[in-house]
């Protein structure tokens, strides 16, 4: 497990022995283009992408990633064709039912970040049940960004802080970066060290805007349904070689 065999000049490197990010973010992108290239409906791309999601999530847990945040459904994705949104809801439901049924002895702790109130009752109840069942697990924290947008997350935090100020719990002078970090969806978790975007697109797409101020980025041309453990290994090796200065020298 975790040995490079191709896609890199490095040979026989144990991925668990290199410097890994404590918090990894992945923008799962390219399902639609993958389907289009094959003359298939976009839903087929999402189905293939769901399989990749399962594989990569399990692999990240196995190699020792502590926090993994996957961008599954953005606040903007509601504008997609209704049939595509419906297909996505089905895949989300299938995964959540599977997680409850087949992963009772799993160590992964599941959390949802975003405004889940917008989802159908059945799906929202499955999300809440998965969080409840997994809350005491000691393994990797899997953040699933659902109906998530980085800007809306900052607005969410500002509203919480404004209520605190209105209630006399804090004064405006108390508002600092730590207070904002303590009131966003990922409160209590480290900021992402490394963010990967498959599909070759060069933009953040409203993902973890506050948290990613000093994250390292990596763009891969492969579309998400074709993304493999080997692609991830190559990205992680690149991360291990970077010198993170956080604005210093």
* pTM metric for this prediction: 0.91
Residue 22 · residue 236 · CB < 8 Å = no
Whether 191 is in a domain gets the answer: yes
The per-residue pLDDT for 11 is 54
Q: How far is the C-alpha of 187 from the C-alpha of 145, rounded, in Å?
A: 14
Residue 57 · residue 70 · CB < 8 Å = yes
In this structure, what DSSP letter does residue 79 have? Answer: G
The per-residue pLDDT for 12 is 63
Which residue of the set 29, 147, 193, 220 is catalytic?
A: 29
Whether 48 is in a domain gets the answer: yes
User: Over 60: is that where the pLDDT of 6 sits?
Assistant: no
21: Cα within 13 Å, side-chain hemisphere = 31
Residue 76 · residue 82 · CB < 8 Å = no
Whether 141 is in a domain gets the answer: yes
Which of 77-86, 155-164, 213-222, 230-239 bottoms out in mean pLDDT, i.e. has the lowest? 77-86
Whether 7 is in a domain gets the answer: no
Residue 4 · residue 11 · CB < 8 Å = yes
Q: How far is the C-alpha of 96 from the C-alpha of 91, rounded, in Å?
A: 9
Whether 227 is in a domain gets the answer: yes
- pLDDT class for 5, splitting at 50, 70, 90? very low
Residue in this structure with the two tokens 């993902």, named with its chain if needed: 207
Which CATH number fits the domain that encloses residue 186? 3.40.1180.10
Closest to 60 in 3D by CA, of 13, 109, 117: 109
User: Over 80: is that where the pLDDT of 136 sits?
Assistant: yes
- Domain containing 186: what range? 18-241
Which residue of the set 7, 62, 77, 226 is catalytic?
A: 77
Q: What CA–CA distances, in Å, run from 7 to 153, 202, 225?
A: 37, 21, 17
Q: Measured on CA atoms in the order 81, 119, 143, 178, is the torsion positive or negative? A: positive
How many domains does the chain divide into? 1
Q: How far is the C-alpha of 77 from the C-alpha of 85, rounded, in Å?
A: 8
Tell me if residue 12 is catalytic.
no
User: How confident is the model over 37-54, as a mean pLDDT?
Assistant: 94
Tell me if residue 143 is catalytic.
no
Whether 41 is in a domain gets the answer: yes
Whether 211 is in a domain gets the answer: yes
- pLDDT class for 245, splitting at 50, 70, 90? confident
């Amino acid at each position: 497990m975790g040995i490079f065999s191709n896609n890199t000049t490095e040979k026989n490197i144990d991925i668990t022995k290199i410097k890994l990010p404590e918090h990894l973010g992945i923008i799962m992108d390219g399902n639609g283009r993958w389907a289009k290239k094959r003359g298939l409906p976009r839903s087929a791309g999402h189905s293939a992408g769901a399989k990749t999601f399962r594989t990569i999530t399990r692999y990240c847990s196995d190699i020792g990633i502590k926090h993994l945040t996957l961008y599954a459904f953005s606040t903007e994705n509601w504008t997609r064709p209704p049939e595509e949104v419906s297909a996505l809801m089905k895949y989300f439901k299938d995964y959540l039912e599977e997680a409850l049924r087949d992963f009772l002895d799993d160590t992964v702790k599941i959390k949802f970040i975003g405004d889940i109130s917008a989802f159908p009752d059945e799906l929202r109840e499955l999300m809440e049940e998965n969080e409840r069942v997994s809350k005491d697990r000691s393994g990797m924290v899997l953040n699933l960004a659902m109906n998530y947008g980085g800007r809306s997350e900052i607005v969410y935090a500002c509203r919480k802080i404004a209520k605190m100020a209105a209630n006399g719990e804090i004064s405006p002078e108390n508002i600092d970066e730590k207070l904002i970090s303590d009131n966003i969806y990922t409160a209590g978790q480290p900021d992402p060290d490394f963010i990967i975007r498959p599909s070759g697109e060069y933009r953040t797409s409203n993902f973890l805007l506050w948290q990613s101020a000093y994250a390292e980025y990596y763009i891969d041309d492969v579309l998400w349904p074709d993304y493999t453990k080997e692609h991830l290994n190559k990205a992680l090796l690149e991360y291990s070689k970077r010198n993170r200065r956080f604005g210093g020298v």
